[in-house]
């Protein structure tokens, strides 16, 4: 058994037991609460690790390159936060709690067969805990707004928007079909004024 770790019990556990059964690296100094405060930092670290954007990780797409990182993030969120399964699902693009359960169980199965995965997940947990320990920089809001705008525009299928517009659909309908923000659709189609 590795030094500095608690024993992990496979499978899903009630919230009260998760903190004591979670397998996470001890933080230097030992005075930090092991529970992560937000799923946002988990999403950020996992997305960076697998070369994805946060928008892709939380999207409703089911591409293989997105599913595994999302399942790893579910597993970390389940083991290292106090959020319930439905709460975790909501933070990942309104996923159902059964999807979260499936992802957690899949990672548990892979932990048994892939010894390198345990080290990879431990590193992701360490990076997430370091990220949460760092104070955010002062001009954070404009940077986040710009980053989210870029991620949304990268995730939007502009060809589909043009196709739907050529068929005569309204901006609101196109926005609903493509799940793209109304403002992004309007801007892409050349409308200067958008709703407030």
**Own/partner long-range contacts of 112-118 (Cβ < 8 Å, ≥24 apart):** 112/10
Q: Is 97 exposed, middle or buried (0-12, 13-18, 19+ CB in 10 A)?
A: middle
Task: Determine the Cα–Cα distance for residues 115 and 58; give it in Å rounded to an integer.
Answer: 27
Name the packing angle between helices 64-80 and 39-49 (round to 10°): 140
**Mean pLDDT on 145-158:** 75
| pLDDT (tens digit per residue) in 58-98 | 888 889 999 999 999 999 999 988 889 999 999 898 899 99
Closest CA to 24 of 78, 71, 80: 80
Which of the four pLDDT bands, split at 50, 70 and 90, describes residue 165? confident
Spell out the residues 6+ positions from residue 28 whose beta carbon is closer than 8 angstroms to its own: none
**Mean pLDDT on 42-69:** 92
User: Which CATH homologous superfamily contains domain 15-133?
Assistant: DnaA protein, C-terminal DNA-binding domain (1.10.1750.10)
* pTM score, whole prediction: 0.56
Model pLDDT, residue 16? 47
Model pLDDT, residue 21? 40
Task: Determine the Cα–Cα distance for residues 152 and 154; give it in Å rounded to an integer.
Answer: 5
What share of the chain has pLDDT > 70, as a percent? 75
Q: Which sign, positive or negative, has the C-alpha torsion 171, 174, 176, 180?
A: negative
- Residues of each domain in the chain carrying CATH 1.10.1750.10: 15-133
Asked whether residue 11 carries a pLDDT value surpassing 50, the answer given is: no
Model pLDDT, residue 195? 53
**Mean pLDDT on 110-130:** 91
């Amino acid at each position: 058994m590795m030094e500095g770790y608690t024993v992990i019990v496979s499978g899903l556990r009630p919230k009260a037991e998760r903190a004591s059964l979670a397998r996470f690296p001890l933080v230097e100094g030992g005075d930090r609460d092991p529970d992560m405060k937000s799923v946002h930092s988990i999403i950020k670290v996992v997305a960076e690790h697998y070369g994805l954007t946060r928008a892709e990780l939380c999207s409703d797409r089911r591409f293989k390159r997105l599913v595994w990182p999302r399942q790893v993030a579910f597993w970390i969120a389940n083991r290292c936060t106090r959020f319930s399964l439905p709460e975790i699902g909501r933070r990942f693009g309104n996923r159902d709690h059964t999807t979260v359960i499936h992802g957690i169980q899949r990672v548990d199965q892979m932990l048994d067969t892939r010894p390198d995965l345990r080290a990879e997940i431990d590193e992701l947990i360490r990076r997430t805990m370091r990220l949460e320990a760092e104070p955010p920089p002062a001009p954070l809001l404009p940077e986040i707004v710009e980053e989210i705008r870029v991620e949304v525009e990268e995730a939007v299928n502009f060809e589909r928007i043009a196709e739907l517009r050529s068929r005569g659909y309204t901006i609101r309908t196109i926005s609903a079909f493509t799940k793209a923000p109304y403002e992004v659709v309007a801007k892409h189609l050349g409308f200067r004024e958008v709703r407030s």
